């Protein structure tokens, strides 16, 4: 085999791009050119917004710099340690506080909802939080109801904070006017708005800061941006000055993420243990086969931290998905001490793993989005713990299959919270798979049900193809309904399907 030295050769060949020198030169060049590009972009910002935008671009530059520096996986698989005994507390061991203390505890809490997402994946316009999910109530309506109920019941003052993105802020501001008379103070702030980077040049594709005019050139950098944006907005300092101690943060579309008095009691009430405060809590729940891709808790370099599937070397992905090896997954319900957030930010030690999100835009341009996840900050705090919570605290609505569950008789609505029916024999939710072609958009999904079937005794439902459901249908056990291409199946009103496979063609004709 010929030994060819690494030097420039004639023609269109160039220095092999896997050499260390090549990488270092490319990185230095990219960083210098990025600074120039950002300076040029900042010149196009109107004066009144300049200070805020400069702060954001500093955050982007720091993220970009780390993206260039980091080589190889952020976790060495063989160095993952077994979770220590006390690392994950069982929810059942937590105590309820004395009634007299609840108001004081609530007055030290801030509830934050991540509200940056759009409803486009479910065929809806505007923020996802304004999609009706139950009794014509939206995610946002239910959240406001939950907090108002707490404030009224305990005569407390828990504020609601919404972290919007540039995609959702205008619509959200219009919607929250309707809550003016409610006993809930609502605050909003925007997460950062970062420029998308060309995958080829590693430079921003934006030409100026007219975001609305070129919305494709910008993106919100994931919910890990919460900490810095919360501080930049001035709200972190404001709440600390008010004497508030913790924030409870969750996704707006997780209908199970309600304020939990037992967890709050563990942080600042009768159940607090030891001298040192708990700075960070990640709610985890038992992994099932449906959750194998969800982030999990690991012990690494003497700290608890979040491990996401994107960080796992390819040869260990099956190990990561194993329910035996990694028993828990992250619900993205986070409790964090406000004072500790400020300390970590001021010390500039908030170094969350970077998620590199590759996308191809409608115009064919290949771009990179640099993002971070809110739970990845766990390793930056002292005294973090996991709490293994019941599955009922994880009830996200990502697809219409989730919507089917929350609209059904599996749940009843109580003060904005969904409560599972006592008639359900076991606390697990059924596994539902609805075909993308006919059920993925909310409007089409709703048109296929005369009303939502009875799901109390359902274990598993798969529906594929052109299928409709009449009124009063009951689904029990495992039900599989498959209409082949060109066929249609109409499930008649009042039908009871128990452990059934239905396929072929079944039309109900109007007489």
Model confidence at 15: pLDDT above 50: no
Residue 281 resides in a domain: yes
pLDDT greater than 50 at residue 47: yes
Q: In which residue are the tokens 């076991």 written?
A: 426
Say whether pLDDT at 118 is over 90. Answer: no
CB neighbours of residue 427 within 10 Å: 9
Q: Tens digits of per-residue pLDDT, 378-427?
A: 999 998 999 999 999 999 999 999 999 999 999 999 999 999 999 998 87
330 and 418 housed in the same domain? no
Give the per-residue pLDDT at 282.
95
For residue 491, is it within any domain?
yes
Q: What is the mean pLDDT of residues 316-344?
A: 90
Select from 369, 391, 413 the last residue of a domain: 391
- For residues 365 and 313, which has the higher predicted lDDT (pLDDT)? 365
Same domain, 263 and 409: no
For the annotated catalytic residues, the residue numbers are 398
Cα dist. 194→59, 171, 205, 228 in Å?
9, 20, 11, 13
Shared domain for 245 and 328, answered yes or no, is yes
The enclosing domain of 434 has a CATH number of: 2.160.10.10
Same domain, 308 and 175: yes
In a domain, 35, yes or no: no
Flag whether 286 is in a domain. Answer: yes
Q: Which of 3-12, 73-82, 265-274, 294-303 has the lowest mean pLDDT?
A: 3-12
Give ∠ CA 326-329-334 in degrees, rounded to 5. Answer: 140
How many alpha carbons lie under 13 Å from residue 68 in its C-beta half-sphere? 21
**Domain that includes residue 141, residue range:** 75-205+213-391
Report the chain's mean pLDDT, rounded to a whole number: 88
Structure tokens at 230: 């919360």
Please give the backbone phi and psi of residue 230, each rounded to the nearest 5 degrees, phi first. Answer: -60, -45
Taking only the tens place, the pLDDT of each residue in 458-474 is: 999 999 999 999 999 99
Pairwise pLDDT comparison (368 vs 16), residue with the higher score: 368
In this structure, the answer to whether residues 143 and 246 fall within a common structural domain is yes
Same domain (yes/no): 367, 419: no
The pTM score is: 0.89
Average the pLDDT over 323-338 and give the result.
90
Which tens digits make up the pLDDT trace of 448-457?
A: 999 999 999 9
Pair 355, 430 in one domain: no
Number of domains in the chain: 2
pLDDT beyond 50 at 374:
yes
* Cβ–Cβ under 8 Å, residues 259 and 158: yes
Please check whether residue 234 lies inside any domain of the structure: yes
- CATH number assigned to the domain comprising residue 131: 3.90.550.10
What's the full length of the chain, in residues?
511
Of residues 346 and 269, more confidence is placed in: 346
Bridge partners (DSSP) of residue 364 are: none
Whether 335 and 281 have beta carbons less than 8 Å apart is answered as: yes
In a domain, 300, yes or no: yes
CA–CA distance from 436 to each of 127, 294, 397, 440, 489 (Å)? Answer: 21, 22, 15, 5, 16
- pLDDT score, position 72: 63
Give the pLDDT score at 227.
96
Kindly provide the residue ranges of all beta strands, DSSP E only, lying in 338-429, ordered along the sequence.
Answer: 355-360, 366-371, 384-388, 411-414, 417-420
Q: What is the pLDDT of residue 472?
A: 95
Q: Identify whether the C-beta of residue 252 lies closer than 8 Å to the C-beta of residue 139.
A: yes
Q: Reply yes or no on whether the pLDDT at 266 is more than 90.
A: yes
* Assigned token pair, 236: 């972190």
Q: Are residues 318 and 419 in the same domain?
A: no
Query: Based on the domain organization, do 430 and 373 belong to the same domain?
Result: no
Is 235 in the same domain as 258?
yes
106 neighbors 269 (Cβ within 8 angstroms): no
- Indicate the residue among 391, 406, 424 that finishes a domain: 391
- 185 and 330: one domain? yes
| Radius of gyration over every alpha carbon of the chain, rounded to an integer in angstroms | 25
Can you tell me the mean pLDDT for 431-441?
93
- Among 337, 357, 391, the domain boundary falls at 391
User: What is the predicted pLDDT for the residue at 130?
Assistant: 93
């Amino acid at each position: 085999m010929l030994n060819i030295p690494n030097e420039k050769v004639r023609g269109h060949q160039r220095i092999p791009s896997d050499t260390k020198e090549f990488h270092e030169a490319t990185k230095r060049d990219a960083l210098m050119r990025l600074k120039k590009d950002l300076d040029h972009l900042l010149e196009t910002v109107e004066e009144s917004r300049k200070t805020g935008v400069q702060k954001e671009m500093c955050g982007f530059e720091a993220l970009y710099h780390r993206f260039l520096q980091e080589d190889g996986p952020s976790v060495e698989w063989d160095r993952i340690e077994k979770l220590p005994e006390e690392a994950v507390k069982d929810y059942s061991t937590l105590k309820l506080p004395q009634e007299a203390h609840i108001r004081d505890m609530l007055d030290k809490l801030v509830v934050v909802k991540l509200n940056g997402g759009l409803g486009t994946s479910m065929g809806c316009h505007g923020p996802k939080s304004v999609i009706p999910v139950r009794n014509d109530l939206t995610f946002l309506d239910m959240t406001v109801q939950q907090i108002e109920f707490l404030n009224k019941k305990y005569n407390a003052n828990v504020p609601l904070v919404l972290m919007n993105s540039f995609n959702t802020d205008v619509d959200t501001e219009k919607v929250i006017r309707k809550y003016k008379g409610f006993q809930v103070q609502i605050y909003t702030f925007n997460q950062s708005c970062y420029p998308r980077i060309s995958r080829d040049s590693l430079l921003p594709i934006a030409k100026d800061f007219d975001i609305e005019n070129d919305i494709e050139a910008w993106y919100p950098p994931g919910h890990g941006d919460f900490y810095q944006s919360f501080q930049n907005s001035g709200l972190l300092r404001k709440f600390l000055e008010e004497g508030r101690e913790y924030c409870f943060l969750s996704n707006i579309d997780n209908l199970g993420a309600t304020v939990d008095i037992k967890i709050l009691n563990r942080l600042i009430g009768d159940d607090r243990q030891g001298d040192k405060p708990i700075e960070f809590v990640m709610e985890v729940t038992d992994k099932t086969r449906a959750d194998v891709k969800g982030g999990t808790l690991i012990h690494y370099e003497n700290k608890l931290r979040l491990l996401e599937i994107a960080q796992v070397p390819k040869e260990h992905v099956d190990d990561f998905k194993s329910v035996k090896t990694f028993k828990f997954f992250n619900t993205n319900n986070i409790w964090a001490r406000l004072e500790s957030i400020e300390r970590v930010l001021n010390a500039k030690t908030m170094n969350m793993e970077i998620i590199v999100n590759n996308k191809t835009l409608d115009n064919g341009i290949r771009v990179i989005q640099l993002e971070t996840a809110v739970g990845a900050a766990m390793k930056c705090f002292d005294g973090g713990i996991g709490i293994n919570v019941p599955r009922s605290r994880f009830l996200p609505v990502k697809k219409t299959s989730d919507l089917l569950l929350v609209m059904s008789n599996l749940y009843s609505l109580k003060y904005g919270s969904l409560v599972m029916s006592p008639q359900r024999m076991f606390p697990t939710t059924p596994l539902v798979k609805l075909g993308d072609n006919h059920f993925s958009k909310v409007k089409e999904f709703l048109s296929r049900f005369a009303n939502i079937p009875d799901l109390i005794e359902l274990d598993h439902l798969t529906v594929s193809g052109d299928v409709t459901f009449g009124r009063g249908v009951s689904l029990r056990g495992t039900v599989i309904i498959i209409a082949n291409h060109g066929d249609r199946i109409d499930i008649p009103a009042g039908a009871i399907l128990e452990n059934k496979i239905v396929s072929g063609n079944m039309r109900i004709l109007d007489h």
